Structure formats: structure tokens, C-alpha cells
Structure 1
Amino acid sequence: MEHIDVAVIGGGQSGLATAHALLRRGLRPVVVEASDRAAGSWPHYYDSLTLFSPARYSSLPGLSFPGADRDRYPHHDEVVAYLTAYANRLDAEIRTGCYVSAVRRTGGAFEVELERGGRLSARAVVTASGTFGRPHRPALPGLEEFTGQVLHAAGYRSPAPFTGGRMVVVGAGNSAVQIATELAQTARVTLATRGPVKFAAQRILGRDLHFWTARTGLDTAPLGRFLARPPAQPVLDDGRYRAALAAGRPDRRPLFTGADGAKLTWQDGQREEVDAIVLATGYRPDLPYLTALDGALDAEGNPRHREGLATAVPGLAFVGQEWQRSLSSNSLHGVGRDAERIAQRLAAHLARR
């Protein structure tokens, strides 16, 4: 069995930032990534997705986001290229095509079992596999009986296949509003939500919201320790999404109450045929490889941790989980801070052994 310092599971923004922080502390991490490239989930997101933070606030430690316009919002392809470049510059071993099937405790170390064969013995483990692999599909009225197409936002790429169709997008977050507005340019679209959509201004007094959260310290405030569950976050808007909803493109309605074949029933009793439903209903931690590790997960499969360190499994850490510590824990611009803290505490833990 191969023996290593730290196994970092996941080669996206969280795993790469963690590897960088561990290297700075004299540890030699091995990053294992299930896909064929170290860019995380970004290659799989919908084509029009852009960062919510400007380029000047969207860098991982050690490499600034490229481009002369520091106030632009980098698009999907730019982020993929940036993460790929970051991985190529990182002086760490990154093994792609390595799916971790299980992590177990064996004596004083962790045994990391790979699906295609092989095992690693690691002194510590950092899980940075994110949530994209576990889309949340809530139990919605009539959804199981609906005979039209149902897809999660994880499987949505562009509006082209739905041109001219009747679409319903479920959700009230950033992705739901963005996808619904994009689809509404070529299709008839309803945004179905349990309550009103809450907006937050993208720019205040001529400055992006991230300028103000950074200036006030709210961006890094350790709010996560006080929250049992992540709060609902508002839709960041420069005015176009609010205007689109006001114009009815898309229109917003309360959630449907049932389905009969391809027809949905709305709360006012109206029934109409719908071609497809897009569930922009979020994700859950994707950590099936930890189920054999006693104390790592709660009954719902969520990590049991305090600010990223496992509460019942010494040497196990989580990076990139939403609201792990602060407002920006699950973002490109903020994960580096969490990675630095975790690397520092893991290094101290390993030094005591």
C-alpha cells in the first residue's frame, strides 16, 4: 500500500486551494480527482453561468484571475481555463480518473480505497468533492406522475433544446432565476416558487456587493458556527432579473399542486400542458465514500464538523462545504481562506502525532 501525508479528495477549487495551503506547510498532498481533469464541477455547469464576484475578488491563493478588466464577471469558460492553469502550476501530485469508493480507519491512519483498484494510506484526509454529484430532487406534488421531461439544473446546458416549448423552472435562487430568464428568451417559461423571489443589489453606490462585504468584514465573519443549516440566499441582481420577472418573462407563480400526465395543475385550479420541468433546487454534500467511517456523517449524509474539522474523526477535514465558516466558504473567491485554516490545523495535528 502506498503511504502519503494527506489525501485530498476532489480536484476542483476547494481541493486545489487546500493542496496549495498544505504545500506551504511542508506537507505533500496527493489530490485524487474522479473526472479526467482538475477543474471541479465547472466544466459541467450550464454554458451561460458567470461568477457572482468580479475578477478582482475571484482568485485562489497564489494566482490572480487573469484579464485587464478586474471588474468583469468571468464566464464559465474563463473559470475552467483558470482552474486548469492553477492545477498545472501547482507543485502537487494530481491523479485524475481516480474515484474514491471508501475511506476507512486502519490503526492510526486512513485507508483510501480507489474504485479501479489500489489503496492509499494517508495520515490525514481532506474531502473537497463538493456537492455537484448529488443534485437535490425534492418531493414536489405530482412530480412522480408528470410524464414530460424532468431534469435538474445539473443536467441543463443551454436553452437551445427547449426553443418554442412550455417550460417550468422550480426554485428561487440564483441558478433558478438565471436559467428561467435565459429560457424565456426562446420559450414560454414559468418560475415556480414556494414564496416571493428575494433580490439583493449586485452593485451598491457604484461598487460590487463583494467590495462592501470585504470592506466590512462580513465576507469572512465566522457565521457558520452559529447556523445549523445554510440560510436561503438572495438572488444577486444588477436589475435585469427583476425587470424580466416584472415583464412576465418568465412569469412567477406559486408551486404547482399536482400533475396528470403532461399537465400541471396550478394553485388557482388552472391545468396546462408542460413540455419540461427544470429543478433548480440545489445540491447536497456528495460524500458516499465516508459512510464506512464512523462519526464522519450525520443521518442525512451531511458532514459532522466544526468549521471544517470533523468533530468525531481526528485527521479528517472538509473544505468547500456551503457555510462551512463564512459567507464565502463555498465560493471561488473565499475557499482559499478556509483551506489555509484547515491546512494550518491539520499540520499542527500531524506534528503532535
Structure 2
Amino acid sequence: MTLADVVVIGGGQAGLATAQAALAWGWRPVVLDASGGAGGSWPRYYDSLTLFSPARFSSLPGMAFPGDPQRYPVRDEVVAYLDAYARRLDADVRRNERVDRVAEEDGGFAVSTSSGSVVRARMVVAASGGFSRPYRPALPGLDTFTGTVLHSAQYRQPAPFAGRRVVVVGGGNSAVQIAVELAQVATVSISTRDRLRWQRQRVLGRDFHWWLAHTGLDTSALGPRLVQGGVPVIDDGRYRTAVRAGTPDHRPLFTRLDGDGVVWADGTRERVDAVILATGFRPDLPFLDDTAALGDAGAPLHHGGVSSTVPGLGYVGLERQRSFASATLRGVGRDATHVLKALARQAVPAQRVAR
């Protein structure tokens, strides 16, 4: 059994930023990470994933992203960056420690892992992020569709889909990036409930994220309220050009899946080999089931990342937790500092003991 000042659940970007913020407070965090290596969810993303924010806007606190600050890093560069960041932290980061249960006891928490270890602390921060549980919408006919169904979390590269008919469901950045990549080797439609919304990557010679930062929208709680219906696709011109050229084409969401095909909104039926659901993720927090922390469908009850029902409990890495930047490399550090400051007002850190 270990006593800690704060237990951080998750060792990806949100967990590492939280550990760094805790160290800045003079606390010794224990980070419990289910995976065997650094990087959180990043190693599981598709091979060609490229950040839509430049390197200069893609750093955690205390360590700049290496290389040209104006370039757009790829997935493996982010994994390497997070690995280097974890090695520089003077924190107790424990890999292959999946948290099974968080229990409230004696004004604090007992955090139990699948290995049988228990860590006790006055505070717990769930930093497993908002990208752990792929969301599969209840589309008519999805469960009986005889073709291939993948979530974008399972997609890696286009080669297995060469020569096939593919429908990508979703209108966000990942959906468009995957659809355009697949259209180089397959016949692809991107299918959405609403129109595709575009945001130019560079405005008046500056990256879009520069404008977010210098107008304050990136960190303002008003930012997410100004954009309803999802985040627009950030585009340097090539994605919109590809969609306008029909590679992929864009269609309204089909009315249903039917055996080995889809029925489109105009009533026509077409055979389809594969459907890729780029439909986002939901927080995966089953270890909080024995607390009052979760609401409908397992959603955390919180204000800006501070639990509204369980004192001493916080969250870092949730999408739009406090601003546009929440759940991004550039935003989790600010959210971590905010959450720990709030938790510090609720609980006095437990006495540290030798491990």
C-alpha cells in the first residue's frame, strides 16, 4: 500500500501534465497508467495522423516540442515527445497498472489496480482523457450489416481497403483526413448529418491557432459556446479540394444499412464493403462506478474538471472541459493547474511516506 498526495489515473498527455502541475505544487503524485509505454492513446491512432496545430502550439508545460516550431508533427513524433517528457519528470509513473476501482474512505480515496496494489490519497485526478471509449452511434441496420464495420480508432492505413467501396461516417478532422487518404485507393463517400464546416488553416499568413491564442478564444470558456455542432475541419486547402472533386464525395447520412449495403437519403440502395465510424469518443471511467461521480451514460459530473458530486476528485483531458484547448497538448497543462488548485482548497495532501 502506498500513500500519495494525489493519484493521477492515466499516463498520456493529460496525466503527464497533471503530474507536472502537482510537482510544481510541491506534491509527489503517483501516476497509474494502464498501458505499457508512454504516449497514452497516440500510439493507437492511424499511421498518417498529422496534427492540425503547429509544433509551437503542441507542447506540454516545461518542455517545448522539438524541431521547427512551424511544422505540423505526425503521430510518431508526438509519441516520442511524450516518452521524452515522461522520462524527464521526477514522478512515480507506474505502467501496466490499470485502475479497477476508486473508493471513497476516511475523507480520501483508495485506488485499486488490476495488479492488486492499492494507493491511498486525499485527491484523485482522472486523466485517462476523453478518447478511451470509441462511440458507435445507434445507426439503423448497423448491427446486421454484413460488411466490415470499423471505428476510426481501429483504422490504421488504406491498403486493406484498396479497390473497395467505403463509407466514412462523421464530419470532423479525423473523418475527413481518413476519407481523403482512403480515396486514393478506394471509392469513398463521407456521410454526415450536417454540412461539412471548414476552417482555413492559415488566415492572413498566420496559423489558425495563432489567432485563437492571440484573441483569447483558445482559453476562454466562451470559445466552445461560439461553435455549435462540432469543431470545423481545419484545412490547408487540399481536403476541401479533394471533396469538391469527389474524392471522396460528400453525401447526407444514409437512412439505414441494409444487409450488405446502404440506403441513401434519396431512396437508392448501394452495395458497400466497409463502413468506418469516425464518430468520436466518450470518457471511459468505469473505475468511478462505485462513487457518485458519474451521470447518465457514464458521463462525469463536473464544473471545469472539478467533480460537482465527489470532493477531492477532478478530471483533466476531457473534450471542451474548459475551453477549445482542453484535451489538446497545448491545453491540458492549464486545465491541470486549474483543477489541482481547486482540489487543494478541498483537501490537505496526505503525509508522504517512503515507498
Aligned equivalents of 1:128, 1:265: Cα separation in 2:
40
Among 248, 251, 266, the residue aligned to 2:246: 248
Report matched runs for 1:53-202 at 5 Å.
53-67=53-67, 69-202=68-201
Q: Which residue of 2 aligns with 1:302?
A: 299
Q: Secondary structure at the match of 2:59?
A: coil
Aligned equivalents of 1:58, 1:222: Cα separation in 2:
20
Structure 1 residue 260, shift from structure 2 partner: 2.8
Q: Which residue of 1 aligns with 2:346?
A: 349
The one-character-per-residue Cα deviations of 1:55-110 (angstroms, maximum 9, x if unpaired) are 1111100100000x211110001000000000000000100000001101011110
Instruction: Report which stretch shifted further, 329-338 or 263-272.
Output: 263-272
- What is the total number of aligned residue pairs between the two structures? 350
Percentage of matched positions with identical amino acids: 59
The one-character-per-residue Cα deviations of 1:20-60 (angstroms, maximum 9, x if unpaired) are 00001111000000010121100000011111110111110
The one-character-per-residue Cα deviations of 1:280-311 (angstroms, maximum 9, x if unpaired) are 000011111101112x1112211111111111
Q: Secondary structure at the match of 2:133?
A: coil
Tell me if the contact between 1:308 and 1:324 (Cα under 8 Å) persists in the aligned partners.
yes
Gaps of 5+ in 1: none
Cα RMSD over matched residues?
1.7
Which letter does structure 1 place at the counterpart of 2:36? D
Report matched runs for 1:204-219 at 5 Å.
204-219=203-218
Q: Which residue of 2 aligns with 1:21?
A: 21
Tell me if the contact between 1:181 and 1:249 (Cα under 8 Å) persists in the aligned partners.
yes
Structure 1 residue 10, shift from structure 2 partner: 0.3
Tell me if the contact between 2:7 and 2:121 (Cα under 8 Å) persists in the aligned partners.
yes
Is 1:270 aligned to 2:268, yes or no?
A: yes
Q: Which residue of 1 aligns with 2:316?
A: 319
Aligned equivalents of 1:267, 1:172: Cα separation in 2:
17
Q: Secondary structure at the match of 1:6?
A: strand
Is 1:260 aligned to 2:284, yes or no?
A: no
Tell me if the contact between 1:2 and 1:120 (Cα under 8 Å) persists in the aligned partners.
yes
TM-score, length-scaled by structure 1 = 0.96
Aligned equivalents of 1:293, 1:260: Cα separation in 2:
41
Q: Secondary structure at the match of 1:350?
A: coil
Gaps of 5+ in 2: 351-355
Q: Which residue of 2 aligns with 1:286?
A: 284
The one-character-per-residue Cα deviations of 1:103-148 (angstroms, maximum 9, x if unpaired) are 0101111010111212111111000001332110001122122100
Q: Secondary structure at the match of 1:220?
A: coil
Q: Secondary structure at the match of 2:51?
A: coil
TM-score, length-scaled by structure 2 = 0.95
